[in-house]
Amino acid sequence: MFGTLAGALSGRKVPFDRSQFSATVDGRIVGVGKTIRIESITLHYELTAPPEHREAVERALRVHPEGCPAHQSVKGAIAVHWDARLRQGDTVVEIREVVQT
């Protein structure tokens, strides 16, 4: 999903700082003994982009899971979520996925 998001930002001509674009991943493993499985994965993005591109960044974040082959491969079996911390100048904006229940 990290690469798909980078591609979505580039496709929208968002000038983001690749040296300040990172992701950490949390996974939840369930089960006992030898029978375990991945229940969920959450990606936490950190990126920096100019303030005038906020709408394009938010749009890229919203649509990038649908364009990601890895996400599409596991979406029925593993819950995958994301959130992002977007730095824009002196401002930091927290953006979260809207989870449908």
The domain locations on the chain are 2-96
pLDDT above 80: residue 51: yes
pLDDT band at 61 (very low <50, low <70, confident <90, very high): very high
**Rounded to an integer, what distance in angstroms lies between the CA atom of residue 59 and that of residue 3?**
16
| CATH superfamily for domain 2-96 | K homology (KH) domain (3.30.300.20)
pLDDT above 60: residue 101: no
pLDDT above 80: residue 100: no
pLDDT band at 84 (very low <50, low <70, confident <90, very high): very high
Q: Within 10 Å of residue 47's Cβ, how many Cβ atoms?
A: 24
How far is CA 4 from each of CA 26, 46, 66, 69, rounded to the nearest angstrom? 18, 15, 9, 9
When the pLDDT of each residue in the chain is averaged and rounded to a whole number, the result is: 92
Q: H or E element: which one contains 5?
A: helix 2-11
